[in-house]
Amino acid sequence: MSSSTNQKHMILAAMLVASTSAFTAPSVKTSSTATSLKMTAVDPAVVTKKEYQDICGVSFDGDELTDRLKATNFLYPKHVEVIEDIAPIAEAMVDDILLETGDAAWQPQDYLPDLSQDNWYEEVKELREMGEQISDELLVVLIGDMVTEEALPTYQTLLNTFEGCDDPTGTTDSAWAKWSRGWTSEENRHGDLLNKYLYLGGRCDMRQIEVTIQHLITSGFNPKANKDPYKGFVYTSFQERATKISHGNVGKLAREKGDKTLGKICAMIAGDEGRHEKAYQTFVKEILKVRSCMG
């Protein structure tokens, strides 16, 4: 094998190592040979542009390499630019749409018997007597709504797949990450409240419901957004509206049958869903507005 061929092979190997290192974590221990290969300069007279592209998928032209890295980081780089542009809108939704947390916010226990009090038995008995008035058909819908709410871990996972809207550290201080965590904290109350109501009501096989919830979360959920924040927010806009309507209808029918406790519970949850719907619809409107200005 000629020295020229050896030199070409070494340079190609060096470029392959350098290219790979951009996408994988560096090893703790690096041999001197690998280090020297990474430092090898690319000589176009020895390695042609076509050969480099065959190995690395890009040319060694600076602009093309930048474009490649950007495309590798995001499937929808133009969509991410728009999402970054409307981040102030997300910040405003955090301030204006989401409620106060902790003691200042409503909690599931506000609408349920307090088992730490001496009159807990009377309160549970009253809840059960009112719950007996609702039909089996309405109860099935309520269970479906509760199971949907209990799958919240799946929905937060989905939000974190939307490019430009994720929370990579779990405590990221971006507008989109704060929205995601705040939205999740509010939604978390819904499943808790409905689950406890059904448990105290005593009309359901709670273990079978719990098995269903675990299967649902384990199986996951794919609305075919494919990491695209545009598709994701269109989906969430309709999803929030659907849950708002369903909870509102169950509450209305429950009140007509005399279950005032369930009526209040569903009204509170529907109110949350309505606020969240407004936020997601605002995101979609802003995306369309910015896109129209971009041509």
Supply the residues annotated as catalytic. Answer: 106, 149, 187, 190, 240, 243, 272-273, 276
Supply 265's token pair.
Answer: 């519970």
Distance CA 194, CA 49 (A): 63
Contact present, 276 and 97 (Cβ < 8 Å): yes
Distance CA 210, CA 36 (A): 58
Residues whose CB is less than 8 angstroms from the CB of residue 257 and which lie 6 or more positions away in sequence, other chains included = 133, 134, 135, 138
CB atoms within 10 A of CB 61: 11
The distance in angstroms from the start CA to the end CA of the chain is 56
DSSP per-residue letters across 176-244: HHHHHHHHHHHHHHHHHHHHHHHHHHT-S-HHHHHHHHHHHHHH----S-TT-HHHHHHHHHHHHHHHH
Closest CA to 233 of 179, 168, 189, 178: 179
